């Protein structure tokens, strides 16, 4: 810690620009305030946040999820439908899982890479058995979970199952708290390949130790079980609400001075592109009190960061906003073996148009996000199936470099290009994937041009491939701007191949706000 202090006092602190800028405010604050217990705690917390910004993260040591996991989950489409008499084709049951397993194989989803088949909440009896073991619902899963696993494995799929770290699941079924070792042993006996551990009905501050402990138990079974955590999703907003007011008050004077003197310029995140002290306090507090992503990435293969996605365009945009606004805090912790999870794919349900479905598929590919379908494969419309099975887009998502892409351009205010965004991802072969997203509601496609800087691409000559096959390949010269025409609430998604190799490649940075 002392070494970090000595380096940063000179404003030569290594790491992202945000670390240097926050450090300047902290040192100003320390000069102006008496060192009380509260301010000491704040200072140490900020120093810890700075150290996290400059540190890397190691993967969960189970050899799984070296690319973002792909599969199918029940929740978004089938929720907690348990009345099989009223809804025989939709209830969470053995029949639904067998039918979906067959369709994943026969309709080409497994061949495309969707290998996990997961049952979310509502598969249990309301009480544990006499031996305290978890009991699947006896009517809806009459043959038990081992039989389900056998059926899934016989089709070369992998079996996923939901549980909750609390006393009860979110829908009120038995959780694992107090029975962690017994339940992990049961999962291994059932030959589960993927555990999604939710975070309802438990003190959020127990998660920092509890989730890693369950991960260690899973590893100790000797069975390779992918570990999906909901740990940070339950801490993000709770922590910020709990502490932001105090942090904003304590930093008030030093923040105001920094703003007046023009030292805070922001480093890309929309949280930091501000004109007043309230937004600055919010940004600093988000660093100080955000979940411990270094530990999360060490102990989980993937983790839900934020709210559940719902079946609507507005919900999809809300998730995209959160990931764009918080990318500087979370993107560096994603990589082979450990992934940020913006939640399930809505594609094939009721809430998205075809263009909007392409937006989600493209942005999830840029984010290196898990691709988890949650739709009825038996009624999937061909145009949505085509999006889900697009091998070019899946290849972007599964790129072995595993580097999460960034939102690099956003135009929110009035004027030309209002409502447009650019999301860019660097790929292992030296190429780049770039998604141009329109949030506009015009009656026709919107034409715009973008510079290399706005796309965060090295200036070079490129061959440009349309990943949704809407236009032929074209060439982009190093002295040109890139023209694009985007449908309302739609996307254009391209891969930029360098026509010649050179050494001026640089990774994408955070938002440019026009």
Q: Is the pLDDT of residue 48 over 80?
A: no
Q: Is the pLDDT of residue 461 over 90?
A: yes
Q: What is the pLDDT of residue 471?
A: 85
Q: Is the pLDDT of residue 82 over 80?
A: yes
CATH superfamily of 406-498: Golgi alpha-mannosidase II (2.60.40.1180)
Name the pLDDT band for 289 (thresholds 50, 70, 90).
Answer: low
Q: C-alpha angle 412/417/418, rounded to 5°?
A: 30
Q: What is the pLDDT of residue 265?
A: 37
Among all chains, which residue has been given the structure tokens 């010269």? 477
Q: What is the pLDDT of residue 104?
A: 98
Q: How many CB atoms lie within 10 A of CB 273?
A: 18
- 59's CB contacts (< 8 A; 6+ apart) are 297, 298, 301, 335, 336, 337, 338
Going by C-alpha positions, the residue among 297, 288, 347, 290 that lies closest to residue 322 is 290
Whole-angstrom Cα distance, residue 197 to residue 302?
11
Contact present, 211 and 295 (Cβ < 8 Å)? no
| Of 239-243, 331-335, 479-483, 507-511, minimum mean pLDDT range | 239-243
Q: What is the pLDDT of residue 287?
A: 56
| Mean pLDDT over the full length of the chain | 85
Going by C-alpha positions, the residue among 421, 356, 342, 424 that lies closest to residue 384 is 356
Name the pLDDT band for 56 (thresholds 50, 70, 90).
Answer: very low
Strand ranges, E, within 369-427: 371-373, 406-410, 420-426
Whole-angstrom Cα distance, residue 490 to residue 487?
5
Using a pLDDT cut of 90, give the percent of the chain over it. 73
Contact present, 68 and 228 (Cβ < 8 Å)? no
Q: What is the pLDDT of residue 290?
A: 81
Q: What is the pLDDT of residue 415?
A: 86
Q: What is the set of active-site residues?
A: 198, 308
| Of 54-58, 106-110, 449-453, minimum mean pLDDT range | 54-58
DSSP string, 101-125: HHHHHHTTHHHHT--EEEE-S--B-
> Would you list the domain boundaries of the chain?
70-235+291-398, 406-498
The one-character DSSP state at 408 is E
Strand ranges, E, within 128-286: 158-164, 194-198, 226-229
- Which of residues 438 and 56 earns the better pLDDT score? 438
Whole-angstrom Cα distance, residue 141 to residue 151?
13
Residues 420-433: pLDDT tens digits? Answer: 999 999 999 999 99
Contact present, 330 and 293 (Cβ < 8 Å)? yes
Contact present, 24 and 245 (Cβ < 8 Å)? no
Name the pLDDT band for 282 (thresholds 50, 70, 90).
Answer: low
Q: Is the pLDDT of residue 320 over 70?
A: yes
Q: What is the pLDDT of residue 47?
A: 52
The mean pLDDT of 241-245, rounded to a whole number, is: 53
Q: How many CB atoms lie within 10 A of CB 435?
A: 28
Name the pLDDT band for 503 (thresholds 50, 70, 90).
Answer: very low
Rounded to the nearest 10°, the torsion over CA 345, 351, 354, 356 is -70
Q: Which letter, b or e, does each residue of 90-122 get, where b requires 16 or more Cβ atoms within 10 Å of its Cβ?
A: bbbbbebbbebbebbeebebbebbbbbbbbbbb
Q: Is the pLDDT of residue 171 over 90?
A: yes
- Which of residues 296 and 10 earns the better pLDDT score? 296
Q: Given strand 420-426, what is the order of strands in its sheet?
A: 474-476, 462-466, 491-498, 432-438, 420-426, 406-410, 512-513
pTM: 0.83
Residues 366-404: pLDDT tens digits? Answer: 999 999 999 999 999 999 999 999 999 999 999 999 999
CA 334 to chain CA centroid, Å, is 9
- 245's CB contacts (< 8 A; 6+ apart) are none
| Of 17-26, 236-245, 277-286, 425-434, minimum mean pLDDT range | 17-26
Q: What token pair was written down for 493?
A: 């998604």
Q: What are phi and psi of 464, to 5 degrees?
A: -115, 120
Q: What token pair was written down for 379?
A: 């009624």
CA 272 to chain CA centroid, Å, is 20
Q: Is the pLDDT of residue 250 over 60?
A: no
Q: Give the gyration radius of the chain's Cα atoms.
A: 24
Name the pLDDT band for 279 (thresholds 50, 70, 90).
Answer: low
The mean pLDDT of 140-157, rounded to a whole number, is: 98
Q: What is the pLDDT of residue 17?
A: 43
Q: Is the pLDDT of residue 23 over 60?
A: no
Residues 332-364: pLDDT tens digits? Answer: 999 999 999 999 999 999 999 999 999 999 999
Reduced to 3 states, what is the DSSP secondary structure of residue 77? Answer: helix
CA 81 to chain CA centroid, Å, is 26
User: Domain spanning 70-235+291-398: which CATH class is it, in words?
Assistant: alpha beta
């Amino acid at each position: 810690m002392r070494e970090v202090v000595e380096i940063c006092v000179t404003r030569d602190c290594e790491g992202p620009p945000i670390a240097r800028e926050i450090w300047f405010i902290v040192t100003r604050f320390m000069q102006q305030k008496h060192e009380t217990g509260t301010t000491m705690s704040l200072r140490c917390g900020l120093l810890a946040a700075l150290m996290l910004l400059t540190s890397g993260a190691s993967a969960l040591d189970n050899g799984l999820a070296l690319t973002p996991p792909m599969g199918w989950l029940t929740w978004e489409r089938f929720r907690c439908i348990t009345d099989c008499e009223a809804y025989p084709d939709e209830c969470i049951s053995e029949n639904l899982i067998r039918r979906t397993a067959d369709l994943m194989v026969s309709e080409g989803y497994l061949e495309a890479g969707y290998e996990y088949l997961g049952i979310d909440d509502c598969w249990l009896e309301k009480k544990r058995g006499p031996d305290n073991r978890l009991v699947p619902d006896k009517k809806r899963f009459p043959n038990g979970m081992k039989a389900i696993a056998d059926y899934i494995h016989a089709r070369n799929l992998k079996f996923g199952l939901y549980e909750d770290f609390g006393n009860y699941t979110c829908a009120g079924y038995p959780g694992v708290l107090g029975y962690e070792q017994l339940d992990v042993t049961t999962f291994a006996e059932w030959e589960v390949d993927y555990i999604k551990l939710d975070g309802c009905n438990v003190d959020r501050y127990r998660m920092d130790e509890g989730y890693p402990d369950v991960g260690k138990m899973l590893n100790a079974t000797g069975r390779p079980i992918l570990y999906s955590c909901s740990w940070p999703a339950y801490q993000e907003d709770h922590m910020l609400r709990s502490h932001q007011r105090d942090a904003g008050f304590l930093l008030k004077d030093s923040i105001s001075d920094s703003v007046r003197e023009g030292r805070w310029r922001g480093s890309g995140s929309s949280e930091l592109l501000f004109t007043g002290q309230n937004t600055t306090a919010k940004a600093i507090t988000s660093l100080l009190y955000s979940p411990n992503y270094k530990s999360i990435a060490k102990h989980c293969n993937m983790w839900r960061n934020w709210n559940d996605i719902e079946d609507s365009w507005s919900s999809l945009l809300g998730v995209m906003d959160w990931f764009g606004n918080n990318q500087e805090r979370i993107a560096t912790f994603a990589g082979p073996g450990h992934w940020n999870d913006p939640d399930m794919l809505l594609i094939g349900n009721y809430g998205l148009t075809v263009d909007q479905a392409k937006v989600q598929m493209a942005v999830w590919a840029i984010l290196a996000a898990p691709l988890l379908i949650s739709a009825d494969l038996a009624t999937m419309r061909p145009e949505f199936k085509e999006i889900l099975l697009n091998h070019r887009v899946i290849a972007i998502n599964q790129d072995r470099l595993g580097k999460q892409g960034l939102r690099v351009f956003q135009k929110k205010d009035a004027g030309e290009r209002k409502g447009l965004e650019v999301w860019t991802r660097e790929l292992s072969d030296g190429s780049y994937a770039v998604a141009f997203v329109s949030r506009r509601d015009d009656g026709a496609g919107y034409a715009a041009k973008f510079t290399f800087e706005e796309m965060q691409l090295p200036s070079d000559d490129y061959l440009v491939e349309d990943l949704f096959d809407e236009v032929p390949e074209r060439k982009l010269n190093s002295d040109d701007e890139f023209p694009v025409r985007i449908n309302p609430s739609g996307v254009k998604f391209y891969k930029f191949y360098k026509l010649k190799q050179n050494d001026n490649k640089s990774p994408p940075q955070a938002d440019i706000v026009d």
